[in-house]
Amino acid sequence: MPKNKSFVSLWLDLNILSTHNFMIKRQNTLKLLMVWFCLLLGQTVYSQSDYTGNKRVTGTYAITNATIITSPGKTISNGTIIIKDGLFAKISTSAQLPVDAQIIPGDSLIIYPGFIDALGEQGVASPEEAKRPKDMDPSNPPNHVAGITPELEVLDYWNIEGNGVEAWRKNGFTISQVAPKGLMLPGKTALVVLGDEKSSNYLSTASGLYAQFKTPRGLYPGTTLGLMAKWRELYKNAVLKQEHEKMFVAQGNGLARPQNDPSLAAFYPVIDQEIPVIFQAKDELEIRRALKLQNELGFRLVLTGVEDGSSLVEDIKAAGASVILSLDLPDPKASKVEFDEATEEAKKAQQRVVEAYNNALMQAAHFEKAGIPFAFSTQDAKSGEFMKHLSLMMENGLSEEAALAALTINAAEILGIAQYTGSIAEGNLANLVITTDKLGDEKAKVKYVFADGYLFEYEGEKPKVDMSKAKELVGTWNYESETPGGTSKGTVKYEINAGELQGEIVVDDPDGSGQITRKLKDINYDGKELSFNFSVMAQGNKLIVYAKGTVMDDKFEGTLSIKDMGKYSLTATKVPEFKL
């Protein structure tokens, strides 16, 4: 660091010199410039002198004493991972830590292989909307106006700093197959690693031909009817065009010169079975239509964004198609409506909505049971709901191993990159996610992510407790809360356990008589402001109760609140400790 410091001060001196002594003789100025220049050169030679402070100190990391899930079902306890130059250098229980390694204590943490998003659009910008030519015949518009741009490369529209990348990386995603935005044939997908912003970050440029059931307004093909016909026509014409080009190359003389058609040429690698068609097909009929086209035309098919595929497992198996399920789950709003006052018929109809909702949550479990390996897609899913949706799927029958496989090794296999990623193995890309709890546990939080060997820390997400002040809280507190149902009384207990402030609250059971004890979550305490929350079950619904207020000596004053239900006063007094 001293070198860095001296450089900065010199630079400041130079600045002062050059501005203050503007009238200095030219000779002197030249000298100064030379010094300046030499210093600049020096900077590149001694590259650890980074005045911005952005450059990382080392590319070598050691995560020690952690629970490592190297691949679904395979665990190393108290293991250490050493990362060097973007790869896993060593995974063992007794590794020698390199001297240049930044050490991350992994005690009580769980390490998973970095998650892979088998189809997403984080970091992808929309292409500029195609201008409709004047006097265009809407029955026969140019391809790019009709949403047919299979030749487009998504990397031309992708930026590591673009929308969504950070949000999904924060969830543990380290690789994504990004899809271009558009209509029926938006372009080619690419594989990117969500690593450092200065890296190029792509793993492959054209991993698949992306297709959707989306059509332009008022132009052919304007509906699914036209889309299906257009698909057949494009594909068959690409086959013919390729044949023509081959004839021309082989024979040449006497043959009409093939006209260049970038849209059709974009199909060649699909026709040659080099890359698959990645078809976004959400509902059952869309999936059937994609399978129908595959059956007629014979391309390799990956179905993505699948939301309603449970009844199609056999057809999908028979077609040999790969499956990417959507991480988006249906909005539970419709299934949660209270129907006490409704007609009998409406109640029955509502029951079917609830069934449909539950079925949607069970989709992943259905695929697991059917033995179809699947991956997940982040497209159209909200990053903030990832952990919640994952636990919902696991509560509805998806095993922990299958969930992890979908996020890691299955995705790698579908994308054809399992030889260097998808599991924690020496020599693989250093992509991993480090969590506080097991996957599917609702309180699991991502603490660190390594992508492409780069470390991303998410400690800021953790509740903050000033430990020096926390011991003032330790003990039992009697509380009172004024609610519309009367005064509620109970106790809160705080203790410090393994360096962490923990607590529990005794509250009236909303579902019956008596009291129940609940663990406090997300405790924040800075010596004055105290907040936490806890959950209770009331008539089958989980309510989260938030408490917030100020601590003054042995008194607490604040509020209790429940979302959409109101705010009530909360006061508490610490019970004096008796010392014998």
Partner 1 sequence: MKKFNYILLCVLLLVANGLTAQTPKGSVLIKNATVLTVTQGTLEETDVLVQDGLIKKIGKDLSAPKNVESIDATGKFLMPGIIDAHSHLALDVVNEATAPITAQVSMADVINPFDVGIYRALAGGTTIAHGLHGSANAIGGQSITMKYRYGTHDPEDIIMKEAPRTIKFALGENPTRVHGRGKNLQPRTRMGVEAVIRNGFAEAIQYKKQWETYNASKDKKNNTITPPEYNLKLETLADILDGEIIIHCHSYRADEIYMLINVCRDFGVDKLVFTHVNEGFKVAPELAKYTMGASVFSDWWAYKFEVYYSTAYNAAILMENDVITSINSDSGELIRHLYHEAAKTQRYGGLTDEQALSLITINPAKQLGIDDLVGSIEEGKQADLVIFDNHPLSVYAIPQMTFVDGVKYFDINDDEDDQRLKVSPTQMVEPVYLQAEDERCMHGVELFTEEAANFTHTH
From residue 342 to residue 361, the character string flagging contacts with partner 1 as x (rule: CB under 8 A) and all else as - is xx-xx-xxx-xx-xxx-xx-
**In terms of CB distance, is 227 or 407 closer to partner 1?**
227
CA gap 186, 236 in Å, rounded? 19
From residue 65 to residue 84, the character string flagging contacts with partner 1 as x (rule: CB under 8 A) and all else as - is --------------------
Q: Write out the two tokens for 266.
A: 């974009």
**In terms of CB distance, is 8 or 334 closer to partner 1?**
334
Please choose, out of 193-201, 341-349, 402-410, 505-513, the segment that lies near partner 1 by the rule CB under 8 A: 341-349
**In terms of CB distance, is 126 or 311 closer to partner 1?**
311
Please choose, out of 38-46, 132-140, 367-375, 476-484, the segment that lies near partner 1 by the rule CB under 8 A: 132-140
**In terms of CB distance, is 40 or 334 closer to partner 1?**
334
Residue 255 makes contact with partner 1 by CB under 8 A: yes
User: Of these, 7, 268, 339, 420, which contacts partner 1 (CB under 8 A)?
Assistant: 339
Residue 531 makes contact with partner 1 by CB under 8 A: no
Amino acid at 506: V
**In terms of CB distance, is 87 or 353 closer to partner 1?**
353
User: Of these, 12, 35, 40, 229, which contacts partner 1 (CB under 8 A)?
Assistant: 229
Residue 139 makes contact with partner 1 by CB under 8 A: yes
Q: How far is CA 439 from CA 184, 393, 405, 464, in A?
A: 36, 11, 12, 23
Angle at 345 between CA 341 and CA 350, to 5 degrees: 75
Please choose, out of 253-261, 408-416, 439-447, 537-545, the segment that lies near partner 1 by the rule CB under 8 A: 253-261
How many residues touch partner 1 under the rule CB under 8 A: the total is 58
**Please, what is the minimum distance in Å from the beta carbon of residue 368 to partner 1?**
20
Are the C-beta atoms of residues 381 and 328 closer than 8 Å to each other? Answer: yes
Residue 579 makes contact with partner 1 by CB under 8 A: no
For residue 15, the 8-state DSSP code is H
**Please, what is the minimum distance in Å from the beta carbon of residue 140 to partner 1?**
7
User: Of these, 292, 471, 519, 567, which contacts partner 1 (CB under 8 A)?
Assistant: 292
Q: Write down the residue that tokens 């999936």 correspond to.
A: 287
Amino acid at 513: S
**In terms of CB distance, is 277 or 405 closer to partner 1?**
277
**Please, what is the minimum distance in Å from the beta carbon of residue 335 to partner 1?**
6
Are the C-beta atoms of residues 81 and 94 closer than 8 Å to each other? Answer: no
DSSP string, 374-439: EEEE-TT--GGGHHHHHHHHHHTT--HHHHHHHHTHHHHHHHT-TTTSSS--TTSB--EEEESS-T
User: Of these, 289, 366, 389, 574, which contacts partner 1 (CB under 8 A)?
Assistant: 289
Q: Write out the two tokens for 8.
A: 């900065």
Q: Write down the residue that tokens 């509250």 correspond to.
A: 507
Helix (H, G, I), strand (E, B) or coil at 291: helix
CA gap 324, 488 in Å, rounded? 49
CA gap 501, 50 in Å, rounded? 38
Asked whether the bond before 127 is cis by omega within 30 degrees of 0, the reply is no
Contacts of 337 (CB under 8 A, 6+ apart): 350
**In terms of CB distance, is 232 or 471 closer to partner 1?**
232
Q: Rule CB under 8 A: which of 195-224 touch partner 1?
A: 217-224
Q: Write down the residue that tokens 């690409």 correspond to.
A: 238
Helices (H) and strands (E) in the chain, counts: 13, 25
CA gap 455, 462 in Å, rounded? 17
Residue 137 makes contact with partner 1 by CB under 8 A: yes
Residue 396 makes contact with partner 1 by CB under 8 A: no
Binding site for partner 1 (CB under 8 A): 137-140, 217-226, 228-229, 232-233, 236-237, 240, 243-244, 247-248, 251, 254-256, 258, 284-285, 288-289, 292, 311, 330-331, 333-335, 337, 339, 341-343, 345-346, 348-350, 352-353, 355-357, 359-360
